[in-house]
Amino acid sequence: MYPDISHIFAAKAQRRRMLAALSWEEKVAIIERMRSVTKDMWTEMEVEHKVYPVWTPYDAHDAAVTLRDALEEDDATSVTSITTDTSA
Amino acid sequence: MVRLEKTLAIFNQLEREGVIGHYAIGGAVAATRYIEPIQTYDLDIFVMLPVAPSGLISLTAVYARLKQMGYSAEGESVVIEGWPVQFLPVFNPLTDEALTQALEVKFGSMPTRVLSAEYLAAIMLDTGRPKDYMRLVQFFESDVLDRTVLESIIVRHNLMEKWQRFQMRFLNDEVG
């Protein structure tokens, strides 16, 4: 049995509607902020040689194993509650 | 103040000086007026350019004036008040009409023009890159298009085949 994640998609859709309803000026301010954040990252990487972790498909298998192990180590109560909620 | 307002002030000055003709905001920044914010790195400006005595249309005069004003070119764009700007001279009857029919609006306190949602949609349909289709689907999901207006533009600019293909792939509409 898999958890029902429809509420996650519903929340995403709600967030998109909320963002779309902002004024044009507010939305452009968000774009400008996104641009400045990524620009800062590039500057830091070039000037200060900072390193940012980046996901790559080459590590996907190892990452999946790490995630699975972490989930197995977890007390599993949260997963159980999601499953229970779904069946209810 | 959003930086774009200062950028728009420069376009208005260029228009007053006759360096450019009518201009209107297009691309992702225009689309953002109608749907959720889209990450973009540059600002697309559709523009009418004065025709030189030789009959040629060139951006040289625009770039020269901007350089005088202290704005430098970076690759294909000019950075104006923090925004890399891509000037796009109208390149076909569709973009020509889109610019003529652009909406007179204000951004903050700055008067400007922006392409209407229907013309943006028709240009996306015509251009047809994956990102255009993706954005066009968002326009339909957000219900921002007057479909009658859009379809009249589509018919006028011979985009019916592309429109039917798009509907079949993305809108699950029956096409007659």
Residues A6-60 have pLDDT tens digits of 999 999 889 988 999 999 999 999 999 988 877 777 666 666 666 666 666 666 6
How far apart CA B5 and CA B12 sit, in angstroms, is 11
Domains of chain B plus CATH, in order, are 3-115 (3.30.460.40), 119-171 (no CATH)
ipTM score of complex: 0.89
Among A20, A22, A31, select the one facing B39 at the smallest CB separation. Answer: A31
Average pLDDT for consecutive 10-residue bins of chain B (176 residues)?
Answer: 92 96 96 94 92 78 94 90 94 96 97 98 96 94 95 98 94 65
Which residue type does B115 have?
Answer: L
Whether residues A30 and B4 touch (CB distance < 8 A) is answered with: no
* Entry pTM: 0.79
Q: Does B36 touch chain A (CB under 8 A)?
A: yes
Residue A10's SS3 state is helix
Query: Could you tell me which residues of chain A have a Cβ less than 8 Å from any Cβ in chain B?
Result: 16, 19-20, 22, 24-25, 27-32, 34-35
Q: Does B158 touch chain A (CB under 8 A)?
A: no
The answer, yes or no, to whether residue A77 has pLDDT greater than 60, is: no
Spell out which residues of chain B touch residue A32, defining contact as CB-CB under 8 Å: 2-4, 82
